[in-house]
Amino acid sequence: MEVKYLTEPERKTPVVETDVFVAGAGTAGCVAAIAAARAGAGVVLVERTPVPGGTLTNGGIGISSFYSATKEPEKAKRIVGGIAYELMERLQEAGGATEFIPMPGDQNFSPYRIVADHEIYKAVISKMLMEAGVRVFLSTMFCDVCMEDGADEDSAVRNHRIKAVFIENKDGRSAVVAKQYIDASGDGDIARMAGLEQTELWQRYHEVCGGPNGLVFGMAGIDFERAVVENPTGFFKLGGTTDQGDGIVSRRFAFTHVKDKEKYAAFADLDINFFTSMQSIHEGELTYINNSKGADCNVCDAESLSRAEMESRVMAMEFADAMKKCVPGCENSYISWASTQMGVRASRITMCDKMIAQEEISAAKRFEDEVGLYGFHDLSPKRKECEICEPGFYGMPYRMLLPGGCDNLYMAGRCVTGDIEAHMSTRNTVGCMIMGQGAGVAAALCARADCGSRELPYGRLREELLAQNVILEV
């Protein structure tokens, strides 16, 4: 279809000045903003939804993982500190997360798991952003960039600089002029608008985990005793229960395929096999129903994505209805929440100075410019070649945050790593937080020193990361 264009009239746009601008108050973006502010920078953070937290409050509430990968939980070492770990402690203090629950030996990808209450997460992360003094603009869309004049188009390495970004909200349109910019939008929106090199990864998600998107929701009013006892081989296969005695009862369910079509007639027309993961942290509530396949769509196309959002809500309703009709103990159940926006596992990936590869992750590779250590892989132990060898973790290099062709922009979160298998590690919540803290600290230091991202001495970055309790050696 031919695209028609309209030339907008020139206009004057009010300017907000700051040291560091962060697009996206999600998993990585909130940590980046807090880290930059704690390192002394003035920070503006924008988020298109009215809620900070991103996919962590929209589905990714099983926060994976703070420990080295090992089949024996007692041998696991904690390898993640910094803001990510502090966040867990504060969630636990607020009654909004489970303890670190040891997982059975066959789940060597995650020796300890922590599951958060998405509502408490929203409050705790809001408090931390306010305490750090971050200027937060919610219901605000980052929508364009303005590059600095004089960029050398002919140069082989085009290290352009961003001069300003444009945001839109109820106040209208503003320009934010910052010294450094962090793209934590998940989709690499700043990098795309800046014309940097990107590749689409989302199609590959059909090969590794159902699909690239999913709408997570929860159901309450469930009698688990009956659901598990009266239905032991059916829907709920209990993987483990931990009662902390503080109102948090964590139950993990392994999904079992519904074989008895007559008994489960209401599910007959539903493609229910994709509801692969269910977790509960409150009595009577299935807190987390992860529709891992999602509705078919092109996650890089706004209209297609919107349709999938709507189809996913219909699917959740139909699924809940079938649960009520077929599963003992669910007669009085109901949908208690659904994520504000559908979760996306991957869309556009931005090409950065270092694109980490699966072989490096499996080999537990270390780098000379690390911003953190990570030891979780979502394909392990399912795929032997994705296991991380001894000591069960790898380094996340600073260079993986630096997009080719731009000198004052950092990428953080699921928008990096083009190797699909490697992405199944780095994109997970804690990996995104590690990148967020690395980007936040580096951006603050570069803003103070008035230098480009590649001119920052690693020793200075390491010093500040350690001061912020990031673990760089174990």
Ligand X SMILES: Cc1cc2nc3c(=O)[nH]c(=O)nc-3n(C[C@H](O)[C@H](O)[C@H](O)COP(=O)(O)OP(=O)(O)OC[C@H]3O[C@@H](n4cnc5c(N)ncnc54)[C@H](O)[C@@H]3O)c2cc1C
What residues line the site for ligand X (CB under 6 A)? 23-29, 46-49, 54-56, 59-60, 62-64, 141-142, 184-187, 189, 214, 216, 290, 343-345, 413-414, 427-429, 432
By beta-carbon proximity to ligand X, the closer residue of 161 and 252 is 252
The nearest distance, CB 152 to ligand X, in angstroms, is 28
By beta-carbon proximity to ligand X, the closer residue of 231 and 428 is 428
The nearest distance, CB 405 to ligand X, in angstroms, is 20
The nearest distance, CB 279 to ligand X, in angstroms, is 8
By beta-carbon proximity to ligand X, the closer residue of 137 and 264 is 137
Looking at residue 148, the DSSP 8-state letter turns out to be P
By beta-carbon proximity to ligand X, the closer residue of 83 and 141 is 141
Concatenated DSSP letters for 423-453?
HHHHTSHHHHHHHHHHHHHHHHHHHHHT--G
Q: How far apart are CA 454 and CA 360, in angstroms?
A: 23
Other CB atoms within a 10 A radius of the CB of residue 270 amount to: 16
The nearest distance, CB 412 to ligand X, in angstroms, is 7
By beta-carbon proximity to ligand X, the closer residue of 342 and 456 is 342
Helix, strand or coil, per DSSP, at residue 179? coil
* Beta-carbon contacts of residue 145 (< 8 Å; ≥ 6 apart): 162, 164, 165, 166, 190, 193, 194
The nearest distance, CB 146 to ligand X, in angstroms, is 15
The nearest distance, CB 229 to ligand X, in angstroms, is 27
Report whether 225 contacts 251 (CB < 8 A). Answer: no
The nearest distance, CB 410 to ligand X, in angstroms, is 12
Residue with tokens 């911003």: 371
Across the strands, what pairs with 62?
Answer: 115
Q: How far apart are CA 379 and CA 211, in angstroms?
A: 14
By beta-carbon proximity to ligand X, the closer residue of 34 and 344 is 344
By beta-carbon proximity to ligand X, the closer residue of 326 and 411 is 411
Residue with tokens 């309450």: 220
**Total residue length of the chain:** 474
Q: How far apart are CA 468 and CA 82, in angstroms?
A: 6
Residue nearest to ligand X (CB): 26
Report whether 435 contacts 28 (CB < 8 A). Answer: yes
Q: How far apart are CA 261 and CA 237, in angstroms?
A: 18
Q: What are phi and psi of 343, to 5 degrees?
A: -80, 140
The nearest distance, CB 140 to ligand X, in angstroms, is 6
37 burial (CB, 10 Å; 0-12 / 13-18 / 19+) is buried
Cα-Cα-Cα-Cα dihedral sign, residues 312, 168, 437, 98:
negative
Report whether 439 contacts 401 (CB < 8 A). Answer: yes
Crossing angle between the packed helical segments 27-38 and 82-93, to the nearest 10 degrees: 110
Q: How far apart are CA 289 and CA 322, in angstroms?
A: 14
By beta-carbon proximity to ligand X, the closer residue of 329 and 343 is 343
The nearest distance, CB 28 to ligand X, in angstroms, is 3
Both structure tokens of 298: 């092109």
By beta-carbon proximity to ligand X, the closer residue of 98 and 231 is 98
Report whether 80 contacts 373 (CB < 8 A). Answer: yes
By beta-carbon proximity to ligand X, the closer residue of 29 and 73 is 29
Longest Cα pair distance anywhere in the chain, in angstroms? 71
Q: How far apart are CA 279 and CA 288, in angstroms?
A: 5
The nearest distance, CB 441 to ligand X, in angstroms, is 16
The nearest distance, CB 304 to ligand X, in angstroms, is 16
By beta-carbon proximity to ligand X, the closer residue of 187 and 421 is 187
